[in-house]
Amino acid sequence: MRVLIIENEIYLAQSIASKLENLGYGCEIARSAAEAIKSEPAERIKEGDKDAHFDVVLLSSAFAGDDTQKIIHKFKDSVVILLITYISNDTVSIPIKAGASDYIQKPFMIEELVRKIKHFEEFRRLQTFIKTYQDYLNYHFKAVSALNFDFKRIKLPLLIKCNKMINADNFVFEYAKALNLSFKYVPLEPGTDVSAIAAANPHTLLYFSNFQILRQEAKNQIVELAAKRKLIVSSTNQNEETSLETLNIASDEKNFQIDEILTIDDYIKHIIVNYQDKYPDTELSKKLGISRKSLWEKRKKYDVVKKK
């Protein structure tokens, strides 16, 4: 982790740098606002410095207000911690509004500064993880039809019946996002200890998927739990009967997951629709193990038109 120390008290700056370097941080010192701006990533990249980014900027409050705000703006992608001698509107409130992350009052113990740095390091790491997972989920659910629900009117506990589990999963993620809720995702398996999961997450919405694979006794246990707390269960069994509020999410999409079993007709139709533009009929029929005449007959049967 790289740290830029912007401090005109050179002995203090060197002391901070020395202690941080002993803990494994890479440090640079800027003694003026002009020197700090030259250290700004865009300026250093122009000069060919490939390692231009600073994870943390320690900014002294000794600089004038305009210089402080310019520096904060220049290092908007870094964690900016203010080094202040006293707390006031000018030293704390205005810089925080301008984008600074936090402050620490002089004199301070290096351990306190390191604690703040590690806190923001973990915060940034979690932000990156959340963004990565959100991007993945958006991609994962891209093939699913858009939902059109007033989520605030949905009553829990809820049983979702669907022909594809991904549709129920998408609903729960969108429901949680719309109501700003966190939830515990539990893909059910025979032997899942529902009571232990509920006890470990007493205040969290529970989402149990694959309800259809459970024996009736295990299903009854979840229904009994639903009388005590909010939860959502999903099942691909369209004949599932419980006392829970029920929501049906149907889909005629032919995208499928690796753990789904399709009829032979559905599989052949899926292959024809998705690969007829990638392979000539001779090769496509060969891969399907049928003749070109049979391929033509399948298109007619499934009402699939080949684009010319």
At which of 84, 105, 135 does a domain end?
A: 135
Tell me the average pLDDT of the chain.
88
Q: Is the same domain home to 196 and 113?
A: no
Edge-to-edge, what's the strand order for the sheet holding 231-235?
Answer: 183-187, 205-209, 231-235, 158-162, 245-249
Regarding beta strands 231-235 and 245-249, do their DSSP bridges make them parallel or antiparallel, or are they unpaired?
unpaired
Per-residue model confidence as pLDDT tens digits over 268-290: 887 888 788 888 899 988 988 99
State the Cα–Cα distance between residues 128 and 125, nearest whole angstrom. Answer: 5
Q: Is the same domain home to 14 and 130?
A: yes
Helix or strand holding residue 113 (H, E): helix 110-140
Residues of the domain holding 120: 2-135
Query: What is the per-residue pLDDT for 117?
Result: 95
Q: Is the same domain home to 212 and 273?
A: no
Q: Is the same domain home to 126 and 12?
A: yes
Per-residue model confidence as pLDDT tens digits over 214-235: 999 999 999 999 999 999 999 9
Contact 198, 172 (CB under 8 A): no
Query: What is the per-residue pLDDT for 251?
Result: 65
In a domain, 243, yes or no: yes
Structurally, the chain folds into a number of domains equal to 3
In a domain, 177, yes or no: yes
Q: How confident is the model over 125-154, as a mean pLDDT?
A: 87
In a domain, 258, yes or no: no
In a domain, 54, yes or no: yes
Collect all residues with Cβ–Cβ distance below 8 Å to 197 and sequence separation of at least 6.
184, 186, 206
Regarding beta strands 231-235 and 102-105, do their DSSP bridges make them parallel or antiparallel, or are they unpaired?
unpaired
User: Which has the higher per-residue pLDDT, 142 or 162?
Assistant: 162
**30 has pLDDT over 80:** yes
Residue 180 sits in a domain whose CATH number is: 3.40.50.300
Q: Give the other-Cβ count within 10 Å of 135's Cβ.
A: 10
Residue 28 sits in a domain whose CATH number is: 3.40.50.2300
Q: Is the same domain home to 176 and 291?
A: no
First-to-last CA distance in the chain?
Answer: 56
In a domain, 15, yes or no: yes
State the Cα–Cα distance between residues 120 and 114, nearest whole angstrom. Answer: 10
In a domain, 53, yes or no: yes
In a domain, 201, yes or no: yes
Query: What is the per-residue pLDDT for 256?
Result: 56
**114 has pLDDT over 90:** yes
Closest CA to 68 of 87, 91, 86, 89: 91
